[in-house]
Chain A
Amino acid sequence: FNSADIAAFKDVWVFCEQREGKLMPTDFELISKGRDLANELGVNLCGLLLGGEGIEAAAKELGGYGADKVYVCESPMLSVYNTDAYAKVICDVIEELKPEAFLIGATNIGRDLAPRCAARLHTGLCADCTHLDIDVANYIQFLREASTLDVDSQKWDMEDRNLKMTRPAFGGHLMATIICPRFRPCMATVRPGVMKKNPFDQAKADACVIEKPAFTLGEADVKTEVTEVVKAAKKLVDLIGADIIVSVGRGISKDVEGGIKLAEELAAELGGVVGGSRATIDSGWLSADHQVGQTGKTVHPKVYVALGISGAIQHKAGMQDSECIIAVNKNDTAPIFEIADYGICGDLFKVTPLLTEAIRAAKAAK
């Protein structure tokens, strides 16, 4: 296998993660984005789905979001994620079929798997991408909107066919576009919740081709054993899918339960969910699945309400792309006001109930 023989590689692939036989939401996001990239390159978009016996049944659905073909690898040894088994099968199939780009969701599993495979294949991997381009004209357009660069004064090679992988660094203060010009496949993990999902198309799902590539996998290939998989008892808070998020920060410290209750009431009135800064999670006020920020979830809801959150860069990194940010904070120099669309300087315990009431009244008046 020669990863430097670039001409031998073709097609865009998406690793389609499954847990307990169910596809993950990131699969559909990545298939949708992969469709654009495959179109720009004029190649096929393929899903790669690994799982236990019968996982093939889930494959056609991927076609509904844009996959031309899904490669399915079935084995009892693949039903539960295992680094060794998955890396072996994926690398074998990639060495045989040679995709030019390979996208993986940056889940806890994707971030375990992708670097292992990239190291084995001797190729480049860009982590946690938030934007992907092939076409240089599209990339220039992206820079015009999302950067302070003077794009017109720069020289561009319009024939460049490399995957341009853009990701935030240092909490979004700096953006970097990474390329992998000399090796293939060009690999990227993509932050969940960032790419927009296409509408499902049944006709395309029906037309999707399923293929089962040959692979070998034996006990000797697997040095780790998963003895149990435990799901958190509580239902996961769907921060990424929420349109409205009301988040609380250290500002609720004088009455934690009361503060969370006020946030819940406001969230209920707006039809959203409650999130929190790292301070609230570290203090044990909210469970970790509520955490917004660099080490929590990246969200971009239509409305993000920050109650008593100062706005450290680690927090802003996870929410600054929200369409509308409303901040309530006692301190008028809090950095959260730098990115807020609407700011109220005041005590959240006084302002939040008034705001909930005002919104209720405004809705009633409509």
Chain B
Amino acid sequence: MKIIVSIKQVPDTSGKVAVNPDGTLNRASMQTITNPDDMNALEAALKMKDATGCKVVVVTMGPPPAAGMLREALAMGADEAILVSAREFGGSDTYATSQILAAAVNRIGVEADDIVMCGRQAIDGDTAQVGPQMAEKLHLPQITYAADITKEGNTVTVKRMLEDGYMTIKTQTPCLITCIKELNEPRYMSVGGVFEAYGKPLTTYGYDDLKDDPLIDATTIGLKGSPTNIFKSFTPPQKGAGMMLEGADKATCEKLAGILAAKHII
């Protein structure tokens, strides 16, 4: 049995987000991290590895520096890492990204006992689309928003969160599961793990490695193969600075209540 975990390197949006004068994001000024939901997916895979001794393979698509993030995953306990990186893949929307990642997963190989895991969504794009789109391209059943996963034989049972409760879903492996933070608390890298991480295999799949997959085609990858395009991007106008009420006493509160009354809010 093996678990393939698809992870993404994202800018850390918990810090200050910097926007260039032309309205695009200043990525260079931001730290990068492994996408938080993906950490939960990786932890879920590593827990299964602890329990069953199965193999965990992490895969990411991104520029060469994303290899650093893969080393971190190896240091947490993953066995093998694949970096999917090529100029032809750049500019992909979620449809094109899922085509490429599905082709990479096909090359790794999905066997009867395997599970593919993803995070629910990445904090930079926030689409939550790539997981289900990969599942469709791989012809696998999908379960999204997983808050609890148990596997018995080839049957996987997942607690799938809804806004007002949850549903329990059963399916057979191979399948694809997207994970949320309620699932677990990701572990730290260990010092020994960091040391070992540099001895574990890290492979790069370039365009030539994947080009023979039927999913990879000029009309389905990269900027040209993306069904969606950015028409405009812009920054919203800064809301005018509000009014700071001096003091924090009874008079201040009465003044605010007076303003709210004058505006017919109360």
Residues of A within 8 A of B (CB): 80-81, 83-84, 87, 107-109, 111-112, 114-116, 118-120, 122-128, 143, 146-149, 162, 164, 169-183, 223-232, 236, 270, 289, 294, 302-303, 312-314, 320, 324-326, 332, 337-347, 350-351, 354-355, 357-359, 361-363, 365-366
Report the bound CA distance from A289 to B165 in whole Å.
Answer: 10
Q: Which of B53-61, B77-85, B252-260 contacts its partner?
A: B252-260
Is B141 in the interface zone, CB < 8 Å from A? yes
The 8 A-B residue pairs with the shortest CB-CB distance in the complex, in nearest-first order:
A346-B248, A124-B227, A124-B228, A127-B127, A119-B136, A358-B257, A115-B129, A115-B132
Smallest Cβ-Cβ distance to A117: which chain B residue: B136
Q: Is B233 an interface residue (CB 8 A)?
A: yes
Is B51 interfacial (CB 8 A cutoff)? no
Given contacts A148-B236, A357-B253, contact A177 B165 (CB under 8 A): no
Residues of B within 8 A of A357 (CB): 250, 253
Instruction: Find out whether the CB atom of A173 lies under 8 angstroms from the CB atom of B19.
Output: yes
CA distance A118 to B96 in the complex (A): 12
Q: List 16 A-B contacts (CB under 8 A).
A: A115-B131, A123-B95, A127-B94, A127-B129, A128-B126, A223-B171, A224-B141, A228-B168, A229-B168, A232-B165, A313-B13, A314-B14, A346-B252, A350-B248, A358-B257, A362-B261
Interface of chain A: mostly helix, strand, loop or mixed: mixed
With A and B bound together, what is the CA distance between A226 and B136 in angstroms? Answer: 19
- Chain A residues with CB under 8 Å of B95's CB are 118-119, 122-125
B248 touches A170 (CB 8 A): no
Report B-chain residues with C-beta under 8 Å of the C-beta of A179. 228-229, 231
User: A177-B230, A359-B260 known; 19 other A-B pairs, CB under 8 Å?
Assistant: A108-B145, A108-B163, A116-B133, A118-B227, A125-B94, A125-B227, A169-B124, A169-B125, A170-B13, A175-B235, A177-B231, A180-B227, A230-B165, A230-B168, A303-B260, A313-B17, A341-B242, A355-B253, A355-B256
CA of A115 to CA of B99 in the docked complex: distance in angstroms? 13
Which positions 223-266 of chain B face chain A at CB distance < 8 Å? 226-237, 239, 241-245, 247-250, 252-254, 256-261, 263, 265-266
Q: Does B188 contact A (CB under 8 A)?
A: no
Contact at A345–B244, with CB atoms within 8 Å? yes
